[in-house]
Chain A
Amino acid sequence: MSVSNTIQQLSVFLENREGRLDEVLKVLSLAEVNIVALSLADTSDYGMLRMIVSDPDKGRSALKEAGITAMLTEVVALRVPHATGSLCKAMHQIVKGEVNVEYMYAFANGSDAAAVLKSDDAARVVDILKGSGFDVYSADEAYRANQ
């Protein structure tokens, strides 16, 4: 059985209006979708909520049903040991490989941490990282992190 090395991030477009974030979180909670990690980027008139969740497909359909625009985005979760300079080394490899990183956020997972990366070529990022001795989270590991 092959293990997927990229993971699905649940991305939600949020208009800047009162209670909108609350609505999204409520839908996920009712659908029993656990949020492992999240990042909220804001602009002057809308926000972008990006999440690693326990079941991205279920989360997306629950949101869709509630009339909330959500999409799944392929990202890579780099395993970063709790040691100074480890993220720096990994990033150096990605830069050398000439892949463009759109955004990044992190979550801790007990003995190590994960840096979630969105790039224009997720498969290539996995290749670069694995080729230079780094590890990435499998989808299953990421969705059940910290549990």
Chain B
Amino acid sequence: MAKVKLADWKEQIRTPEIECMSRDEMAALQSERLVKQVKNVYENVEFYKKKMDALGVLPGDIKGIEDIGKLPFTTKEDLRDNYPFGLLAVPQNKIARVQGTSGTTGKLTLASYTQKDVDVWGECVARGLTMAGLSAADRIHVCYGYGLFTGGMGLDLGAQALGAMAIPMSSGNTKRQLMCMEDFGATAFACTPSYALYLAEAAEEAGVVDRLQIRASINGAEPWTEEMRKKIESILNINSFDIYGLCEITGPGVAMDCIHHKGLHVYEDYFYPELLNPADQSACADGETGELVFTTLAKEGMPLIRYRTKDLTSIEHGTCECGRTLPRIQKFTGRTDDMKVIRGVNVFPTQVETALLSMGGGVAPHYMMIVDRENNLDVLTVMVEVDEKYFSDEIRKLDQLKARVGAVLKQALGVSVRVKLVEPKTIQRSEGKAKRVIDNREL
């Protein structure tokens, strides 16, 4: 535990020749890789041959990264339709590992990796860990789940590539997590932000914060806010970093934020990002919000061309204060499929979180949104946990708090909200991705 102030921070860059490359050199590298990849998928993946033929695009039409817009998209549905191994560009015996995510509709999304893909994945996570100020001397406590979910394995591979000690805790059993963190002298930990906050609160409650040697946390796999980061940082007295990834592309390590927290640096030498207008798929300018789309430039096992993530964000290409030229994606404003249209207004769960945190106390930033339709009218209920410190036995005070939360949420979302106060620590903390919205409308 020793949060480093920005003024005292010493930036470490694992691969400056890539991470600080000029835009021209990067475009040349990307062009070379894209041309090769397009030829590869056209020749080896039936699905892409058919898609390109249907669009009348041949590998020879793709001469550089500027031609990427000519290529077809890939969607999550395409992955499901070709489940489990239909999109491989190599024979199945070349696959060293599979990882997956449980789809909300039941079927898994499966991703296949060759050994080289696994190595690249570890390398990208190691770049991120370096960005968080970690080195071979560190001990990284991984409380992401291990298994098909990429969280545990991704951070483990990163620690390995870095030469650090990996502590493969997996998720759950908070008391044991804290005990091992202390006993093994962990200097960093990785998990979802909601679980990080939960762990931080638990450490504070148990009075063990001062006994921990943690100085950094790496958190991702669900959207979170600056306020939440600051809360985790202040309870544990550490620096927290945001890591992004999705198993279809590789897992955590696609992008990560540096100490300046001005967006997440995308490892665009491997994962080429495009920001597209959700309405017509035209390219967004820097700063404009759109859907994030990735092309895996060097993947062997299951290369994806223009994969639509459904994540909404914006991108900046300017050089960062940390020295990296890698473009930065901003924190997600939501997902195209998490977005709820309530009485005609677009509402994102992250807006609720930001609003609750902006209240500066009274309620915890854990919530659940429930959308119902009563008498043909959409009704949004938000369940909010009362902060233990603000708990009162006077109904008048709780009702005032409830009214205040309702006003803040209405202001932030633009729709009226029914607030339901619930007991502290009763809303589920996630170990994977938190479910924040229940939509009961039958449309």
Contact = CB atoms under 8 A, between A and B. Distances in A.
B393 A15 contact: no
A86 interface: no
Interface string B384-401: 001010011111101100
Contact of A67 (B386, B420, B425): B425
Given A15-B426, A69-B388, A46 B393 contact: no
B421 A11 contact: no
Interface in B354-398: 386, 388, 391-396, 398
A13 B394 contact: no
A11 B386 CA distance: 15
A50 B393 contact: yes
B393 A71 contact: yes
Q: What is the interface residue range for chain A against chain B?
A: 10 to 19
Interface in B268-307: none
B424 interface: yes
Contacts of B388: 69
A68 B423 contact: yes
Contacts of B422: 15, 46
A54 interface: no
B423 A48 contact: no
Contact of B399 (A43, A50, A118): A43
A45 B420 CA distance: 7
A102 interface: yes
A115 to B, nearest CB: 17
Interface centre among A48, A50, A69, A118 (most CB of B within 10 A): A69
B394 A102 contact: yes
CB-based closest 5 A-B pairs: A11-B393, A73-B393, A45-B420, A69-B423, A15-B422
11 contacts: A9-B393, A13-B398, A13-B423, A14-B423, A15-B422, A15-B423, A15-B426, A48-B393, A48-B398, A71-B393, A102-B394
